[in-house]
Amino acid sequence: MDPLSLFVLILLALIVLTVLYAISSYNSLVKLRNQFKNAFSQIDVQLKRRYDLIPNLVETAKAYMTHERETLEAVITARNQAAASVKQAAGAPGEARAMAQLAGAENVLTGALGRLFALAEAYPDLKANQTMMQLSEEITSTENRVAFARQAFNDSVTGYNTSCEVFPASIIAGYFGFKQASLLEIKEAEREAPRVSFAKG
């Protein structure tokens, strides 16, 4: 085989390997992007469950906390804002502004719920109410599931972002418009579920 033919053969082999690598990298990025979007859908499910529980909680509390109307209204307002934010975020999981708005709305809602539960401590009949105890347990359980789903989402986003940044996959990511995704970050002080204690006695 003459040198020119050998050169052409090597060049063709390099082109084929480059194309195969590009296809593999592209498919890997698509898979990772779909994984973090699916992980966000788990957050969405748990947050919607939380939002569905809150009106029942407020209605139960309203019968006992007649002088705490402002606090009860603040919880419902925060719940409605958070529900609107999660709808936006579900349409663009990982998008920086949507994640920041959702995190902010969740912080406000968690704060409002925390104030409600703190005030409820002053109402012994409310603390002993079976419905209130059950709802508070369900909300705490849902908060734990939200935290778990959020961690899974953030792990998926980190894996995707790393794949977008490493060379030479970063060239494929840039060429095909794979953008960095944002984590769903909740401030450390507000990350924990509201502490609820509605035991009888």
Residue 177 belongs to domain with CATH number: 1.20.1440.20
Residue 117 sits at φ, ψ, to 5 deg, of: -65, -35
Cα–Cα–Cα angle for 36, 37, 42, nearest 5°?
90
CA 128, 131, 132, 137 dihedral sign is positive
For 24, the domain range is 3-190
* pLDDT tens for the 201 residues of the chain, in order: 788 888 889 999 999 999 999 999 999 999 999 999 999 999 999 999 999 999 999 999 988 888 888 999 999 999 999 999 999 999 999 999 999 999 999 999 999 999 998 888 888 888 888 888 899 899 989 999 999 999 999 999 999 999 999 998 999 999 999 999 999 987 643 434 444 444 444
Residue 199 in any domain: the answer is no
Q: Domain total for the chain?
A: 1
- Helix extents (H) in 63-198: 69-91, 96-120, 124-128, 130-165, 169-175
Instruction: Say what the pLDDT of residue 188 is.
Output: 46
Residue 40 in any domain: the answer is yes
Tell me the CA end-to-end span of the chain in Å, nearest whole number: 93
CB-CB contact of 136 with 198 (8 Å): yes
Residue 198 in any domain: the answer is no
Instruction: Say what the pLDDT of residue 134 is.
Output: 92
Instruction: Say what the pLDDT of residue 192 is.
Output: 44
Residue 129 in any domain: the answer is yes
Residue 35 in any domain: the answer is yes
Tell me the three state secondary structure of residue 99. helix
Residue 148 in any domain: the answer is yes
| pTM, full prediction | 0.83
Q: Which amino acid is at 15?
A: I
Contacts 24+ apart (CB under 8 A), 124-128: 125/64, 126/60, 126/61, 126/64, 126/65, 127/197, 127/198, 127/199, 127/200, 128/198, 128/200
Q: What is the DSSP letter of 2?
A: -
Residue 196 in any domain: the answer is no
Residue 200 in any domain: the answer is no
Q: What is the DSSP letter of 92?
A: S
